[in-house]
Structure 1
Amino acid sequence: MSTPFDPAHQQASTVCLPPGDWITVLDCLCDHFKGIGRDQWLDRFSRGRVLDAEGRAVAADLPYRRGMRLHYFREVPNERPIPVEETILHCDEHLVVADKPHFLPVTPTGEYVEHTLLRRLIRRLDNPHLVPLHRIDRHTAGLVLFSSNPQSRSAYQRLFPERRIDKRYQAIAAPLPTREFPLVHRSRLEHGEPFFRMREVEGVANSETLAEVLEKNGNLWRYGLSPVTGKTHQLRVHMAALGAAINNDPFYPTLLEGEDDYERPLKLLAQSLGFDDPLTGEKRYFQSRLSLDW
């Protein structure tokens, strides 16, 4: 018996065709995704990389129909390798815990598809069912928790929105001698410009971070950061707002242009994860083997 198609497991992207007057699905896709050339789409169709809702390969001349659902596989020609290597800290029938190095994206995004933590782990473990239960941004190093079993996935996914998981980070940044620690910083975060940067705005707080000082070393301090919420770039924005942007941050407080400098990683580490296992009640605790040097 064949396995039913599941685009999430096979890392396909999905598009629902918008309203328009196109003749074929190829015409629609070319117009909708202007960054992908017609020849590239034709190549994908010829290799069976564009599928219908049931997972069957479709032809480029298939007539366009509004609302049609298609699955396609993202590809980046000449994708640049990322010269870092992840470590698997734990693997069982339900969970995989990986130590992600700086600069490696968790999931395919932008110019990165194959050189992502998810794709690497799928290949290493030969498990297409892997799904990240949370994410840390590309510049941050440390722990990422994956579900390896669709049957138990929802139980572990609920840990995060229900705030039943203890996440602790470390960061290296400038001293804040005029502030009293530990302190709690709350603010409202929204997407800014460019779209991938966050900013603090007026309004009801939707983000909260507990910060404490772990170690002092001259003109640098090591901070312990515990995010109560999980907004994009939350710790980076909050530290910058406090007056101590995290060392080597290319986004905050100022956006820096240029390619990655592997000698100057962001000094932010997802250091530990702790929770009560939702299936067994067992206390689980994982700690990164990575560290932030001064």
Structure 2
Amino acid sequence: MPNLAPNDPAPHSTSAIAAQPSYIVLPRDSELVGKSYLTVLAFLVDHFKQIDAKVWLQRINDGKVHWQNGELINADTAYQATARVYYYREVQAETKVPFNELILHQDDDTIIVYKPHFLPVTPGGNYVNECLVHRLRIATQIDTVAPAHRLDKDTAGVMLMTTNPHTRHAYHQLFLDDNIRKDYQAIAKVTPEILTQLANNTGKLPLSWTVKNRIVAGKPSFTMQVVEGEANSHSEISLVAVNNGVGLFELSPITGKTHQLRVHMQSLGMPILHDRFYPTLQPKGPDNFDKPLQLLAKRLRFRDPISGIEQDVECQGLDLLAIS
């Protein structure tokens, strides 16, 4: 994969404040279900229960909470239904991801970029500035960079980003209308049955599967599971190479459910190498930068809805020999 050299020889954590603000729309009275708030501060304290009231008061006193027009909010500012309140997320320790993104294509409306493993696309959890969007805004000096689709933090590969708010909807529509093709690669241990078939020539590469099943949220809710019922997910998966019991797979998600390819590989009895969610959820802990999830969004193909140009962009594939 491209550009995987660490940009920091000693990954570390530091306290961080988001460079870009988040916002929340203050609910209407009818949406509050028996609650009411006199001040913005009272709403923030009640809504974000995981954040201590003293923290919100300190943020307000430090000028880190404001209206959409930039006017600061103080501890006594009255609640205004439907107004946007902007604030800056903070974490005590933000992990630095020691791998670089790489811009593969850029025009007036889009950036097509390689996202490395471990780097989230947008802020979340323990990450406020260590995300693809923030890195690209710094690198390009374009503060309107936004993702056109999702890619898991643990997954690397090609992503489409938009830069022009006036044309952004056209790129979102590509995904809604299934007018974009995404091709992935994965590495997983091959089942003994398949290895036997290949060894005695009763099976021949490539071996292919059409996987259709029903995927719903599991327990905990950030994981997914297969249940009985009408299929809502569809992937085409092929085993194209094997070395020392480990296989290289090509995958095409026809639908776009959360963790779909990871769940579908598990359902075939071949969970993706270094997957911390499937088949067994691993204890929460720091990322192991030496063992990235072996799942890569290798190629993206679509007709640009603005320019009409056929885009076909890919990155370097997974290295089966390096794993084996």
TM-score > 0.5, shorter chain as reference:
yes
Match of 2:212 in 1: 186
| Runs (5+) with no aligned partner, structure 2 | 1-18, 198-202
Residue 11 of structure 1: CA displacement? 4.7
Q: Is the 8 Å Cα contact of residues 158 and 315 (structure 2) preserved in structure 1?
A: yes
The one-character-per-residue Cα deviations of 1:97-127 (angstroms, maximum 9, x if unpaired) are 1111111101111111100111111111111
Between the two structures, name the one with larger relative contact order (CA 8 Å, sep ≥ 6). Answer: 2
After superposition, the CA RMSD in angstroms is 2.1
Normalised to the residue count of structure 1, the TM-score between the two structures is 0.90
Is the aligned partner of 1:156 residue 2:156? Answer: no
Where does residue 152 of structure 2 map in the other structure? Answer: 137
Q: 2:233 aligns to what? A: 207
C-alpha contact (below 8 Å) 2:216/2:227 kept by paired residues: yes
Alpha-carbon distance in structure 2 between the residues aligned to 1:130 and 1:71: 19
1:16 maps to which of 19, 23, 26:
26
User: 8 Å contact 2:186–2:318 — kept in the other structure?
Assistant: no
* Alpha-carbon distance, 1:128 to partner: 1.1
Name the counterpart of 2:190.
Answer: 175
Q: Work out which of the two has the higher radius of gyration on C-alpha atoms and give 1 or 2.
A: 2
Q: CA deviation at 1:44?
A: 2.2
Q: Secondary structure at the match of 1:157?
A: helix
The answer to whether the 8 A contact 1:13-1:74 is kept is: no
Answer whether contact 1:10 1:128 (CA < 8 A) is retained: no
Question: Which residue of 238, 243, 256 corresponds with 1:230?
Answer: 256
Per the alignment, in what secondary structure is the counterpart of residue 90 of structure 2?
coil
The reply on whether 1:268 has 2:295 as its aligned counterpart is yes
Separation (CA, whole Å) in 1 of partners of 2:137 and 2:190: 41
Structure-2 separation of matches of 1:47 and 1:228: 48
- What CA distance in whole angstroms lies between the structure 2 residues aligned with 1:269 and 1:108? 21
Mapped to 2, the partners of 1:11 and 1:209 lie a distance apart of: 37
Residues 35-84 of structure 1: per-residue CA shift (max 9 Å, x gap)? 11223212322343323355532212113355554232322233222222
Select the structure that is richer in helix.
2
Equivalent residue pairs, number: 286
Give the Cα–Cα distance (whole angstroms) in 2 for the partners of residues 151 and 63 of structure 1: 33
Tell me, yes or no, if the aligned pair for 1:186 and 1:208 is still in contact at 8 Å. yes
Gaps of 5+ in 1: 1-8
Does 2:270 align with 1:244?
yes
CA contact (8 A) 1:99 1:289 kept: no
Question: Take 1:37 and 1:240, find their aligned partners in 2: how far apart are those partners?
Answer: 40
Identity rate, percent: 41
CA contact (8 A) 1:99 1:290 kept: no
